[in-house]
Amino acid sequence: MCRTLQALNTIKHATHALGGLALLTSVPVHAQSSITLYGTIDISLSHVGHARGKDNLWRLGNSSMGNLTGSSWGLKGSEDLGAGLKAIFQLENGFDPGNGQLAGGGLFGNQAFVGLASERYGTLTLGRQYDPLVDLVQGITAGNDFGSAFATAGDVDNYDNSFRVNNAVKYASPALSGLRVEAMYPFGGVAGRVGAGQSYSAGLAYELGPFSLAGGYFQAANTPAKARWREDWAGTSDGTFNGPVNTAYASARSIGITRVAARYVLGAFTFGAGYSHARYGRDGSSSFRADERFDTGQGFLTYQAYAAWLIGAGYCYTKSGGDSSASYRQLSLGSDYMLSKRTDLYVTAAYQHARGRTGGDAGSEPKAQASIGSYAYAGTSVQTMLNLGVRHRF
């Protein structure tokens, strides 16, 4: 009797084991996927000389006042679809660590897109994204190492990455013998007017050993005016009308930006130069009298003093013409020391001097005011900026 019970128990356990095995083998095999939480907290103590008129300003945190990269956190993920094809997505939020406020006007104001990536055919993404000039040109400029303190006066050519583009379809090619190509087309979203408010952009980058070259064009259109005068910028692309250099041109019909940059690495030294042409086009609903042009030339030198210590200097000259006639000269310095792979301490400084007259309300031509990068008003022809900061990436 006992042996019979033992045999029945053995059969029962075996049946349970086979059932469990059958259950496991019936579960579908999922493709390999991953989701990554990442972010950067970049905060600096900034001193701005002539922040408004002759007054100076001390401030903590604001990413438009000389931080290296700004602060953000996000999620990005991918799913392997087989044959070298992946589904990808990225959601990124920008914020000011000094007060916790969101940047970019939304929860994921920096980036929000989904797409497909192929090792052979390239990447296609849809959503709110950076344009090809940011992807290809910005990476070989001094701003990539030292941030806003090296940016163009008033950020008139989006050197400081102020633009993101909504409703955008973007294609990025794989690297072919050192050459990469990108193209973007955002839909305007204006009923009955397919081209209203839309943008487009294209760029290419080439790398051969220590030499890098990149260039491209970005065009953004404003939405049609709802009244006689267009009051502000409202296209699919963000605007960069933060300071006195180009505030008078927020009613522009369009913005066109051409940028080229080159970089050469020689041992511990890196030499770089760049040129940009930004045109703010007018129409009958614009509040200024003629198309405004900004031509900018830049040069920089960086030195890798130690594996953990990078120092650099740059010079920038911007000349405006068309509706106004002004010039902006800027000298920038930077030092970045890595405490670890994720944490660094930095010091950046800039001096800018403005001359001539710029655009103003109702066709007036006030004296040009200095404005370093994306920072707002100066009130005088000279502005200085000093930043002491810490950045941690996770």
Domain holding 352, by residue range, is 38-72+95-393
Residue 153 falls within a domain, yes or no?
Answer: yes
Question: Given this model, what pLDDT does residue 373 score?
Answer: 80
SS3 145: helix
Contact partners, residue 273, CB within 8 Å, separation at least 6: 261, 262, 297, 298, 299, 300
**Backbone Cα Rg of the chain:** 26
Residue with more model confidence, 66 or 44: 44
Lowest mean pLDDT among 181-190, 292-301, 355-364: 355-364
Question: Given this model, what pLDDT does residue 50 score?
Answer: 84
Report whether pLDDT(215) > 90. Answer: yes
Question: Given this model, what pLDDT does residue 363 score?
Answer: 60
What integer is the mean pLDDT of 335-363?
91
384 touches 48 (CB < 8 A): yes
Distances (CA, A) of 291 to 189, 237, 294, 318, 371: 26, 19, 10, 16, 21
How large is the greatest C-alpha to C-alpha distance in the chain, in angstroms? 110
Identify the top-confidence range among 19-33, 179-193, 274-288, 295-309. Answer: 295-309
Lowest mean pLDDT among 158-167, 172-181, 271-280, 358-367: 358-367
| DSSP-assigned letters across all residues of 71-138 | EEEEEEEEEEEETTEEEEEEEEEEE-TTT--EETTSTT-SEEEEEEEETTTEEEEEEEE--HHHHHTG
* One-letter amino acid of 367: K
SS3 21: helix
Report whether pLDDT(266) > 60. Answer: yes
Question: Given this model, what pLDDT does residue 274 score?
Answer: 98
Question: Given this model, what pLDDT does residue 17 score?
Answer: 38
Question: Given this model, what pLDDT does residue 285 score?
Answer: 82
Question: Given this model, what pLDDT does residue 31 score?
Answer: 61
Question: Given this model, what pLDDT does residue 239 score?
Answer: 64
What integer is the mean pLDDT of 121-144?
96
What integer is the mean pLDDT of 150-160?
91
Residue 254 falls within a domain, yes or no?
Answer: yes
For residue 181, the tally of other CB atoms under 10 A from its CB is 19
Q: pLDDT tens digit string along 220-249?
A: 888 766 655 666 665 556 667 778 888 888
| CATH label of the domain that carries residue 169 | 2.40.160.10
Distances (CA, A) of 368 to 34, 155, 320, 343, 377: 51, 15, 10, 39, 11
Residue with more model confidence, 30 or 81: 81
Percent of the chain with pLDDT over 90: 58
Question: Given this model, what pLDDT does residue 1 score?
Answer: 40
Identify the CA nearest to 186 among candidates 140, 124, 142, 131. 131
Lowest mean pLDDT among 171-180, 199-208, 355-364, 384-393: 355-364
Residue with more model confidence, 17 or 55: 55
Identify the top-confidence range among 8-17, 44-53, 137-146, 239-248. Answer: 137-146
What integer is the mean pLDDT of 373-381?
76
Report whether pLDDT(66) > 80. Answer: no
For residue 242, the tally of other CB atoms under 10 A from its CB is 19
SS3 325: strand
- pLDDT category, 89, cuts 50, 70, 90? very high
Q: How many domains does the chain have?
A: 1
177 CB-contact burial (10 Å; exposed 0-12 / middle 13-18 / buried 19+): exposed
Report whether pLDDT(159) > 50. Answer: yes
Residue 14 falls within a domain, yes or no?
Answer: no
What integer is the mean pLDDT of 38-57?
87
Q: Give the Cα separation of 133 and 115 in Å (integer).
A: 20
Q: Decide the pairing of beta strands 382-393 and 254-266.
A: unpaired
Question: Given this model, what pLDDT does residue 382 score?
Answer: 93
Residue 108 falls within a domain, yes or no?
Answer: yes
204 CB-contact burial (10 Å; exposed 0-12 / middle 13-18 / buried 19+): middle
Residue 7 falls within a domain, yes or no?
Answer: no
Report whether pLDDT(208) > 60. Answer: yes
Report whether pLDDT(59) > 90. Answer: no
Question: Given this model, what pLDDT does residue 22 score?
Answer: 37
Report whether pLDDT(79) > 90. Answer: yes
Residue 13 falls within a domain, yes or no?
Answer: no
Residue 86 falls within a domain, yes or no?
Answer: no
Question: Given this model, what pLDDT does residue 101 score?
Answer: 83
Partners of 345 in the β-ladder: 337, 390
* One-letter amino acid of 133: L
Q: pLDDT tens digit string along 16-47?
A: 433 443 333 333 435 689 999 999 999 999 99
Report whether pLDDT(87) > 80. Answer: yes
Residue 328 falls within a domain, yes or no?
Answer: yes
List the structure tokens of 271.
Answer: 């030499």
Query: E strand or H helix at 336, and its extent?
Result: strand 325-338
Distances (CA, A) of 273 to 60, 120, 262, 331, 333: 31, 32, 6, 14, 15
